[in-house]
Chains A and B, each alone.
Chain A
Amino acid sequence: MLEQTFWFLSSNKVRSGLTMLGIVVGIGSVIAMISVGQGAQASIKDRITAIGSNLIIVMPGAQRSPGSISAGRGSAHTLTQADADAISSQISNVKVAPELDSRKQVAAKGNNTNTQIIGTVPAYTDVRNEAMDSGSFITGSEDRSSSKVAVLGPSARDDLFGTGADAVGQEIRIGSSMFKVIGVTASKGGSGFNNPDDAIYIPLGTMQHYLVGGSYVSSISVSAASQDAMPGVQQQLADLLLQRHRISNPAMADFSVMNQQDIISTASSVTQTLTLLLASIAGISLLVGGIGIMNMMLTTVTERTREIGLRKSVGAKKGDISMQFLSESVMLTFLGGAIGIVLGFAASLAISHLANMPTSFSYSSVILVFGVSALIGIVFGYYPARRAANLSPIVALRYE
């Protein structure tokens, strides 16, 4: 039977090839689109993981004034260094890094830039997975003495001293104060808005005394010991801060607690939607390919009516005839699917090289797509095959 099928398809090479092309393009684009989507998902997840491991971030709530005009979430000055110290002393197995952020104009040697100044503590490197490229990060004594030292992010270093320049030991001016550069952090590979590389780190005390004024912090990053410990830590954090801020109703809390997992799942759901969208657009071309198969099979059945009549007269049963046509369409989609997978793989490689977009090629999607292509063969081959099988041999033999 298989041999028969193959023989027939190969004796109609041009037509079989063209019909198969529809499936090839459909499967190929589904594979390519899924790999682009999964690649984007993986890279976003990587970037979020790069900002810290098992990270929980405490942000102040909205500032509420008697006139009840809200200045927006995160605007209140309710979180303090004391809150951070309390978290660190009362919750076990956590690392705590409070920070105070502000955008400032920074100048060095005639270059200047506007960047994020982050006032923080030595624990920041552990909490936010910060590694050093050269020099060292803020030390405990520098923090306690409110030293005017700065650690540059690689993008900030590039902007101030030129790409790849050695900045350690140089001086920069933030606002009206001069700071000595003591280190440069390793790149985290961000870009665009919220680039984690475009930042300058200074001791928290220095930030509070010289640049902002006030003892509040803009967020507290807390790193739990493991992913499993995160829900417990998050609960303890909330309880502790509610108690410290004397708030009895959790709905009225003047802070919010976010964990990294939530951010990842939010971002993932966005990219998943994107993947689904891309795949369904590609799926439409697959559907069109399937209709092409059905069209070709119907033409074939009409063209081969006499052959069907003959086969029936020499003893082919209904099942034999419908199996013959069904296996022809399944073989077409299967071959088309195989070629499409190879092409889709090649396309995803080309996309990642030429468009510099990350792609990820998963074997589960290959298996899925193979199954789908065989299914298309069955679904779109079924009606033509049934039509062929139900032809009366008398009518079929007489057909001109």
Chain B
Amino acid sequence: MIECIDITKKYVNGDTETVALGGVSFRIDAGEFVAIIGPSGSGKSTLMHILGALDIPTSGQFLLDGQDVSDFGDDELAELRNRKIGFVFQAFNLLPRANVIRNVCLPLLYAKVPTTEREELAKQALLRTGLEEDSFYKRSNQLSGGQQQRVAIARALVTNPAMILADEPTGNLDSKTEKIVMQTFQQLHSEGRTIVLITHEAEIAAYAQRVITIRDGSIVADRLNGNSGAQTEVIPGGGFAPPAAGTVSA
């Protein structure tokens, strides 16, 4: 359902041309939990922008739900993001003065969902992330980091998108909340959601079912995670052990 065919992305800055992606091809099926891992400068952010329809490739095709979106204009991309993609960012990016419900409702505003239905949809999405109901009407900057990220996940879920795209979702969290957030992703995966996770940390990638390793603008490894059997397992008390680093890095 997501297909990248020989995608390149070049940036021209004055006379120098930087190749961020040099011909990347892969396919992600519905219901997969994929981690894209690579060190900084590897091109994973550029890839995330293209997968998230925030940017278009210089050449190649990006098919989302069978639709080639490589040559979409700004407004078409915006509509596509609204309908098909749910973003989770490292910095949460919540509206600080707005309450939780209002934050989750934001994509529905642009989806032209009637005002009366928005709040109900937002509550449903929030319940699925396991956020306590008594914080629904708190201002988002009064919540802890873990709670904020779950609000952000709810915001990504609320439009029922084809894919959830998480960019370093645990980068700003301590290890305890990191675990809670990653378990939330695993829970969503077990409910049949497609999740694409961008990270530079092997431990985070280990939660995924499949790991695509990218370096210098090319895919250097694409393998199923050895631990992927644990994907639907409910992990009690944080007893999950990340795999040894050697398993993932290429």
Closest to A314 in B: B107
B106 touches A (CB below 8 Å): yes
Q: A4-B109, A315-B107, A316-B110 are in contact. Are A310 and B78 (CB under 8 A)?
A: no
A312/B95 in contact, CB under 8 A: no
B54/A313 in contact, CB under 8 A: yes
Residues in A whose Cβ lies below 8 Å from that of B89: 310, 397
B155/A394 in contact, CB under 8 A: no
Contact with A along B90-119 (1 / 0, CB 8 A): 010101011000000011011100000000
**Could you tell me the distance between the alpha carbons of A106 and B213 in the complex, rounded to whole angstroms?**
114
Please tell me which one of the listed residues B49, B55, B78, B83 contacts residue A316 in the complex, with CB atoms under 8 A apart: B78
**Could you tell me the distance between the alpha carbons of A11 and B98 in the complex, rounded to whole angstroms?**
9
Q: A314-B87, A315-B110, A318-B74 are in contact. Are A393 and B54 (CB under 8 A)?
A: yes
CB distance from B217 to the nearest CB of A (A): 17
**How many interface residues does chain B have, given as a range?**
20 to 34
A148 touches B (CB below 8 Å): no
**Could you tell me the distance between the alpha carbons of A397 and B54 in the complex, rounded to whole angstroms?**
10
A318/B54 in contact, CB under 8 A: no
A315/B97 in contact, CB under 8 A: no
B87/A313 in contact, CB under 8 A: yes
CB distance from B121 to the nearest CB of A (A): 14
Tell me the chain A residues, 47-77 only, with Cβ under 8 Å from chain B.
Answer: none
Please tell me which one of the listed residues B74, B79, B81 contacts residue A313 in the complex, with CB atoms under 8 A apart: B81
Question: Using a Cβ cutoff of 8 Å, how many contacts connect chains A and B?
Answer: 55
A394/B75 in contact, CB under 8 A: no
Contact with B along A314-353 (1 / 0, CB 8 A): 1111111000000000000000000000000000000000
B54/A315 in contact, CB under 8 A: no
Q: A11-B97, A394-B49 are in contact. Are A311 and B106 (CB under 8 A)?
A: yes
Residues in B whose Cβ lies below 8 Å from that of A4: 109
B83/A315 in contact, CB under 8 A: yes
B82 touches A (CB below 8 Å): yes
Closest to A315 in B: B82
**How many interface residues does chain A have, given as a range?**
20 to 34
CB distance from B41 to the nearest CB of A (A): 15
A320/B110 in contact, CB under 8 A: yes
A306 touches B (CB below 8 Å): yes
Closest to A389 in B: B74
Q: A311-B106, A313-B87 are in contact. Are A394 and B93 (CB under 8 A)?
A: no
A314/B110 in contact, CB under 8 A: yes
Residues in B whose Cβ lies below 8 Å from that of A311: 106, 110
CB distance from A249 to the nearest CB of B (A): 77
Residues in B whose Cβ lies below 8 Å from that of A11: 97
A307 touches B (CB below 8 Å): yes
Q: A393-B54, A394-B49, A394-B55 are in contact. Are A317 and B97 (CB under 8 A)?
A: no
Closest to A1 in B: B109
**Could you tell me the distance between the alpha carbons of A308 and B54 in the complex, rounded to whole angstroms?**
13
CB distance from A301 to the nearest CB of B (A): 15
Residues in B whose Cβ lies below 8 Å from that of A320: 110
A-B pairs, top 8 by smallest CB distance, nearest first, are A315-B82, A315-B110, A314-B107, A310-B93, A317-B75, A11-B97, A317-B78, A393-B54
Given A314-B81, A315-B159, A316-B110, 7 additional A-B pairs, CB 8 A:
A306-B91, A310-B106, A311-B106, A312-B78, A315-B79, A315-B81, A317-B74
| 9 A-B residue pairings within 8 Å (CB atoms) | A4-B109, A312-B81, A313-B52, A314-B82, A314-B110, A315-B83, A317-B74, A317-B75, A317-B79
